[in-house]
Amino acid sequence: MLSIRQLHVRAGDFRLENLSLEIARGECVALMGSSGSGKTTLMEAVCGLRQAESGGIFLDGREITGLAPGARRIGYLPQDIALFPSVTVAEQIGFGPGLHGWKVSEKRDRVEELAEALGVSKLLGRKPQGLSGGEARRVALGRALALRPSLLCLDEALTGLDEELHAEILSVIRKMIARENVTVLHITHSSAEAGAIADRVLRMEDLIRAPSALAGNC
């Protein structure tokens, strides 16, 4: 489970103060809020990309507040997908396992297994320039899940997709969440998307105003 306790984060002149949040293991929580309310700042703090000034972040009972991003066991899928431009699909998905010293056969098996589940097996040799928007999101999801993370952070990962593709990728994400049994924190602006994917929907404003009232409240 993910537990955020009285977190204070600063991003330039913007501050997130006294923020608390609990997400049960295997739960999918959609986080909504107006633009500039600090959703991405919070997610970056959880992923370790932004230092917390005070407070604590705990994942599966382990404090991760001061850990390096790569030691937190968190998969991250940003809004702009950010597939590495000069790297093939197979190398994208195998990037994390390669860094963590997995055996070549283990890495290959994991890449093939994820590629099959995501429906990108035929694209393993391609580079991002040759992928459609939907394919790129599938690959980025595979890259984020390759290390079997405890928490998957999705930062508006479905923004900009047309209706048909949106529904398709949403179902892929739902399938992969169930398959990998991963806890999910999903930022979105769409209440329909939040309702379709999440077990619980939280609003950023409420999170800051009344943190104690939030746990298990949706």
Rule CB under 8 A: which residues touch other proteins?
Answer: 44, 47-49, 51, 68-72, 74-76, 78, 80, 82, 84-86, 95-96, 99-100, 143-144, 146-147
Nearer residue to other proteins within complex by CB, 38 or 211: 38
38 closest CA partner among 190, 214, 203, 217: 203
Q: Which ranges constitute the DSSP H helices of the chain?
A: 39-47, 89-99, 104-118, 133-145, 163-180, 191-197, 204-209
Report the nearest approach of other proteins to the CB of residue 92 (Å): 10
Nearer residue to other proteins within complex by CB, 96 or 134: 96
Show the tokens assigned to 172: 């892929």
Nearer residue to other proteins within complex by CB, 4 or 151: 151
Report the nearest approach of other proteins to the CB of residue 83 (Å): 9
Report the nearest approach of other proteins to the CB of residue 171 (Å): 24
* CA dihedral of 136, 141, 146, 152, whole degrees rounded to 10: 150
**Ramachandran angles phi, psi of 27, nearest 5°:** -85, 150
Nearer residue to other proteins within complex by CB, 146 or 202: 146
